[in-house]
Amino acid sequence: MNIEQNLKDIKSTIPESVTLVAVSKTKPISDLMEAYNAGQRVFGENKIQEMVEKYEEMPKDIKWHMIGHVQRNKVKYMAEFVNLIHGVDSFKLLKEINKQAKKHDKIINCLLQIKIAEEDSKFGMSADDATSLLKSEKISELKNIKIVGVMGMATFTDNMNQVEKEFKFLKHTFTELKSLQPELKTISMGMSGDYQLAIDCGSTMIRVGSSIFGERN
Ligand SMILES: *Cc1c(COP(=O)(O)O)cnc(C)c1O
């Protein structure tokens, strides 16, 4: 795997306005450092413990994104340094993130994970729940979190028509939510197999792992 070349290849095919999150879960720090030395600064992990270990070992100008499902009792371990939490799908979780952010006197950026896939194994809230949440009084009381956009995971399938339908639904949901909260700016969608399609459907942030670092075990 030539990580530097892979990054170059991907960067050359995506608009500059799209943020590339290098998904480095399960990969050793030496691989991450290759990406870092090639200029990559945004990394995504899906386990808090693993992200903390890598954060401690690596340069401090990295932006760490938590892209996986977040357990409330573990928010405290990443609150100090996490740059963006993609998988926020309940008010309870937001409240805990707010509490931990406050301890560090910071504001943590969050994305609302919207359920766009048909399979029910995927986490996320419905578009209606997200709308109600943004409208609610209780959310304005959380001063140490900021919702900056949405995140979604399409169905795991080769049927690109299905995936396209789900991406378009997320874009539509984003537009609706943005009418309530104009500062929203991020649509996190697209992975190694479908990031081109995701960008065509309006993605502003892609999460790419295996196309950069190779297949995971
Ligand atoms: C692992 C993972 C990715 C990256 O998947 P690849 O197919 O390796 O690009 C993206 N998003 C989430 C939430 C993931 O867990």
Q: What is the pLDDT of residue 121?
A: 60
Q: Is residue 9 part of a domain?
A: no
The 3-state DSSP class for residue 80 equals coil
Range of the domain at 112: 16-212
Q: Is residue 217 part of a domain?
A: no
Ligand 1 atom 10: residue of nearest CA: 207
Contact assessment for residue 152 and residue 186, using Cβ atoms and an 8 Å cutoff: no
pLDDT digits (tens, 9 = 90+) for 102-158: 999 999 999 999 999 987 666 899 999 999 999 999 999 999 999 999 999 999 999
The rounded Å distance from CA 196 to ligand 1 centre is 14
Q: Is residue 138 part of a domain?
A: yes
Structural domain tally of the chain? 1
The closest-lying atom of ligand 1 relative to the alpha carbon of residue 25 is 1
Task: Kindly tell me if the per-residue pLDDT of 26 is higher than 80.
Answer: yes
Q: Is residue 10 part of a domain?
A: no
Is 191 near ligand 1, meaning CB less than 6 Å away? yes
CA distance 161 to 32: 33
Token pair, residue 65, equals 């994104």
Q: Is residue 153 part of a domain?
A: yes
Q: Is residue 8 part of a domain?
A: no
20 — pLDDT class (breaks 50, 70, 90): very high
Q: What is the pLDDT of residue 106?
A: 98
- What CATH number corresponds to the domain at position 60? 3.20.20.10
Q: Is residue 163 part of a domain?
A: yes
CA distance 90 to 92: 5
Is 68 near ligand 1, meaning CB less than 6 Å away? yes
Q: Is residue 77 part of a domain?
A: yes
CA dihedral 68→73→77→80, nearest 10 degrees, is: 90
